[in-house]
Amino acid sequence: MARRKQAVTIRHVAAQAGVSLQTVSRVINNGSNVRPEMQQRVQAAIDALGYVPSIAAQRMSGSRSYLILALNDRDRTIADWRARQGTDWVDQMLLGGMLKCAEHGYRLIFELVDTHNDHIQRELAAAIAALQPDGVILTPPHSDNPLITALLVHSEIPFARIGSRSSGDGIALTMDDEGASRLATRHLIDLGHRRIGFIAGSVDYQLSGWRVDGWRAEMAAAGAATDGLLATGDFSYASGEAAADALLAQAQRPTAIIASNDQMALAVIAAAERHGLAIPQQLSLVCFDNTPLVRFTRPPLTAIDQPVAEITSRAVEYLIAGAGSDDLPDVPLVVPASLVVRESTAPPAAAA
C-alpha cells in the first residue's frame, strides 16, 4: 500500500488564505481570537478546498480524537446477533449514539469486551491506547464494574454508565428499572391481579435486582403477597421456561407474570400453552423489553419500552459537552421507560 498522504491539509488552506497555520487551526477549533474577516477568509479557503481535519493528526497533537467508545458485553451481543431474534439493543444504541455523535463531528466506535474475564482491564486498556477515545459509554453488565471504572478514572477519560444507579465516577444514566417494574406491576394490579409472578433476569446484571425490587414494592403497596411468586432466570429462553414452569406448576398459580426480557416472555407463552392456559384470559403477561418480535407473538405483548436510543444519545451529549465542566449531576440521570399496552394483559379470570 502506498504511503497515503492527506489530500488537502491545513497547510494548503493556510497558503490559499494567505495566513499562518495557526490561524487556520484557530478557525477550525472555535475561531476565538480571530477577526471576523480573517475567519471568513479562512473559511472560504476551507470550503473551496474541501478541507477536513485529520482526526489522527488532531489527536496526535494532544487534542481530541473525536471518538467515543461504546462498550457492550461480548458473549451476549454476539449470541444475540447469531440468534437473529430481533434484539435491537445495539441498533437503538447506534440510533441514539451514532446520530448524536455525528451532530458534533464525532464518531461512535463499538467494542465488545468480556465480562467474565480477568484480563478485562487489559482489553480495555488496549482499546484506549489504540483509539484514545474522548469518552466511553458503559452498558450493563459493565456499568458498575469497578475494574473498568477504576481504569477509566485512572486514564482520565470521561465515561457514562448506562443502566447504573450508583453515583460516583462518570455519570450514571438509568431508565429507572425499578420504576418501570412498578409500572408493569401497577398495570396488572389495576386490572385486578393479586397473584403476579415475576421472572428475574441474570444476577450478573444489577438491573435484574432493581426490577425485582420494583415488583416487590408495588406488590407491597397493593398489599399483595409475593411468596412463591418469584422465579429467577438468566434472560435465556431455557431459563425462562424453567422459571415459568415453576410458577405455573403451583397449586396457587399466578394469574399474571412479568418476564424480565423478551426471550423469557416467549418461554412463558410456550409454558402457558403447555399448561393449557390462554393468554390473556387465564394468564396475563408483561414483557420487560419492547423488542420488535413482541408485536408478532400471539397475542402481541404488553411491554416495557426501554428508551435505549434516548439514553445513549444523552450519554453522548454528556461526554461531548459536559465532560469538561464540573457541574455534573451526582444523581443518576433518569430517562423513564414507558409501558406499551397490547393484548397480553387483561383482568384475571376470577375477577372477570
Residues in touch with DNA (CB under 7 A): 3, 5-6, 9-11, 19-26, 28-29, 33-35, 37-38, 51, 53-54, 57-58, 60-63
Indicate the residue among 26 and 314 with the shorter CB distance to DNA.
26
Contacting range for a copy of itself; rule: CB under 8 A; set: 31-39, 84-92, 175-183, 207-215? 84-92
292 vs 294: CA distance, rounded Å? 6
Any residues with CB less than 8 A from the CB of 208 and at least 6 apart, and which? 200, 201, 202, 260
Minimum Å gap between C-beta 98 and a copy of itself is 7
Find which of DNA, a copy of itself, none residue 38 binds, CB within 5 to 8 Å per kind: DNA
Indicate the residue among 172 and 293 with the shorter CB distance to a copy of itself.
293
Kindly tell me which residue out of 132, 226, 232, 282 binds a copy of itself, with binding defined by CB under 8 A.
Answer: 132
Minimum Å gap between C-beta 51 and DNA is 7
Name residue 289's amino acid. D
Q: Which of helix, strand or coil describes residue 102?
A: helix
Could you say whether residue 36 binds a copy of itself (CB under 8 A)? no
**Cα 37–Cα 56–Cα 68 angle in degrees, nearest 5:** 100
Find which of a copy of itself, DNA, none residue 119 binds, CB within 5 to 8 Å per kind: none
Any residues with CB less than 8 A from the CB of 209 and at least 6 apart, and which? 200, 203
Find which of DNA, a copy of itself, none residue 259 binds, CB within 5 to 8 Å per kind: none
Kindly tell me which residue out of 250, 298, 331, 352 binds a copy of itself, with binding defined by CB under 8 A.
Answer: 298
Site string for a copy of itself, 101-120 (x = CB under 8 A): -x----xxxxxx--------
108 vs 134: CA distance, rounded Å? 10
Q: How many CB atoms lie within 10 A of CB 25?
A: 18
Q: Which residue has the cell 414507558?
A: 338
Minimum Å gap between C-beta 43 and a copy of itself is 15
Indicate the residue among 7 and 203 with the shorter CB distance to a copy of itself.
7
Q: How many CB atoms lie within 10 A of CB 325?
A: 8
Beta strands in the chain (DSSP E): 67-73, 107-113, 135-138, 159-162, 171-174, 196-200, 230-232, 256-259, 284-287, 302-305, 333-334, 338-340
Minimum Å gap between C-beta 262 and a copy of itself is 11
Name residue 223's amino acid. G
Indicate the residue among 14 and 219 with the shorter CB distance to a copy of itself.
14
252 vs 197: CA distance, rounded Å? 11
Contacting positions for a copy of itself (CB under 8 A): 1-8, 50-57, 59-60, 62, 64-66, 78, 80-82, 84-86, 88, 90-92, 94-95, 98-99, 102, 107-112, 122, 125-126, 129-132, 134, 155-157, 290-293, 296-298, 309, 323-324
